[in-house]
Amino acid sequence: MTKENIVGLDIGTSTIKVVQLLKSKDSYSLIKASIEELEFNADEKVKLAALKRLFKRAKISQKEVNISTEGPSVIIRNIQLPKMNKADLKSAIKYEAEKYIPYSVNEVYVDCQIISEVQNNMGVLLVAAKKDTINDKIQLVRKAGLRPWVVDVDSFALINAFNLKNEDSDKTIALLNIGSEATSVNIIRGNLFNFTRNISAGGKRVTEIIAENLKIDLTRAEELKKNPGDKKQEVSEVYLNAVREMAIEIKSSFDYYESQYEEGVSKIFISGGAAINEYTANFLSENMNLEVNRWSVLDRVGVVSKSLRDTLTPIQDYLAVAAGLALRKL
């Protein structure tokens, strides 16, 4: 029986997450995972120390890791091309990419995948990522004594994890991953990627607004965002005002998708640090007039022990991308 231990490493701006999965035949079990918080605007030295602490705490000895990139340095487009074989596509895609990206093709890594074929045309998923961004992340990982195995995109990793158990594959659904700096809006149907967009509104901005309104420092604001205690009423009012900006941008993305594909989103699933807050799902549901659910990788893979599940439950919303990366193979 073939078994594989696979490690996904999600290096964000406010947290670093690691997940190790054990594959046995067609199923996966989560055997190790942990999270390390970063101070605001952490530099490379701080991130490097955090990486080392993370792997030590998680007791992960494997050095090969899958990592990812996201944000404005990544361009993802669905494009239409004349039908051709994969070899010809690989040769042509670099030149085709020039039409769709705001950078020189010499500044980016370019990849592609055929997603549909109709008569003489085919739909192609084009991905371009800035070389300097990816190289900086690879260098950081190597300095920590690790070996990058696959470099993926956050959105694709997120979808991989979600699709382990997608009971709504007949519907058009949105996966929102609410990070610190930004929120990624990903729309899928039938387990297939259709659309993605990053909006510059995330958990960090929410924390800043709470700090400004309650006249407290960012550390205390972050604590109250997650556990408001006796300040629940004050925090909830400020929080909802902060999330309103995010909701407007998400709705705009949905409207654009509907205009392009002539179908609307029927359900929303959220993950990421801000998803932990109890207000997020309710607020988005009321403002979008759609069902909004939190989802967790702990419901999609087995967990090796009850004690590990209990340890990970408070941070389960953070682990989606890392788990999706741990599913990724060459």
Tens digit of pLDDT at every position of the chain (330 positions): 345 778 999 998 889 999 999 988 778 999 999 999 988 778 999 999 999 999 999 999 999 999 999 888 899 988 889 999 888 998 889 888 888 888 888 999 999 988 888 888 998 999 999 999 999 999 999 999 999 999 999 999 999 999 999 999 899 999 999 887 788 999 998 888 888 888 877 777 778 888 888 899 888 887 887 778 888 888 878 877 777 888 888 999 999 999 988 889 999 999 987 666 667 888 888 888 999 999 999 999 999 999 999 999 999 999 999 999 999 875
Residues 245 and 114 reside in one and the same domain:
no
Residues 116 and 138 reside in one and the same domain:
no
3-state helix/strand/coil string of the chain = CCEEEEEEEEECCCEEEEEEEEEECCEEEEEEEEEEECCCCCCHHHHHHHHHHHHHHHCCCCCEEEEEECCCCEEEEEEEEECCCHHHHHHHHHHHHCCCCCCCHHHEEEEEEEEEEECCEEEEEEEEEEHHHHHHHHHHHHHCCCEEEEEEEHHHHHHHHHHHHCCCCCCEEEEEEECCCCEEEEEEECCEEEEEEEECCCHHHHHHHHHHHHCCCHHHHHHHHHCCHHHHHHHHHHHHHHHHHHHHHHHHHHHHHHHHHCCCCCEEEEECHHHHCHHHHHHHHHHHCCEEEECCHHHCCEECCHHHHHHHHHHHHHCHHHHHHHCCCC
Residues 20 and 122 reside in one and the same domain:
no
Distance between CA atoms of residues 296 and 207, nearest Å: 23
> Quick one: tokens of 35?
């999270």
User: What number of CA atoms fall less than 13 Å from residue 208's CA on the CB side?
Assistant: 8
Residue 214, in any domain of the structure: no
Residues 58 and 99 reside in one and the same domain:
no
* Residue 144 and residue 51 in contact, taking contact as beta carbons nearer than 8 Å: yes
Residue 215, in any domain of the structure: no
Residues 153 and 125 reside in one and the same domain:
no
Q: What is the pLDDT of residue 13?
A: 84
Distance between CA atoms of residues 118 and 137, nearest Å: 38
What order of strands is seen across the sheet that includes strand 64-69? 147-153, 64-69, 3-11, 15-24, 27-37, 302-303
- The pTM for the full model equals 0.89
> Quick one: tokens of 213?
């309104």
**Inter-CA distances, 40 with 135, 165, 221, 227, 250, Å:** 22, 34, 13, 19, 25
**Inter-CA distances, 203 with 179, 225, 275, Å:** 6, 9, 9
Residues 240 and 303 reside in one and the same domain:
yes
**129, 163, 195 - which closes a domain:** 129
Residue 68, in any domain of the structure: yes
Residues 19 and 108 reside in one and the same domain:
no
**84, 113, 129 - which closes a domain:** 129
Domain of residue 236, residue span = 3-72+130-209+221-326
The phi-psi region of residue 116 (left if phi > 0; otherwise alpha if psi is between -120 and 50; otherwise beta) is beta
Residues 111 and 237 reside in one and the same domain:
no
Q: What is the pLDDT of residue 1?
A: 33
Distance between CA atoms of residues 131 and 148, nearest Å: 15
Residue 107 belongs to a domain with what CATH number?
3.30.1490.300
Residue 308 belongs to a domain with what CATH number?
3.30.420.40
Q: What is the pLDDT of residue 2?
A: 42
Q: What is the pLDDT of residue 70?
A: 87
Q: How many domains does the chain have?
A: 2
**63, 95, 129 - which closes a domain:** 129
* Residue 216 and residue 209 in contact, taking contact as beta carbons nearer than 8 Å: no
Residues 109 and 188 reside in one and the same domain:
no
Residues 156 and 7 reside in one and the same domain:
yes
Residues 101 and 11 reside in one and the same domain:
no
Q: What is the pLDDT of residue 136?
A: 94
Residues 164 and 297 reside in one and the same domain:
yes
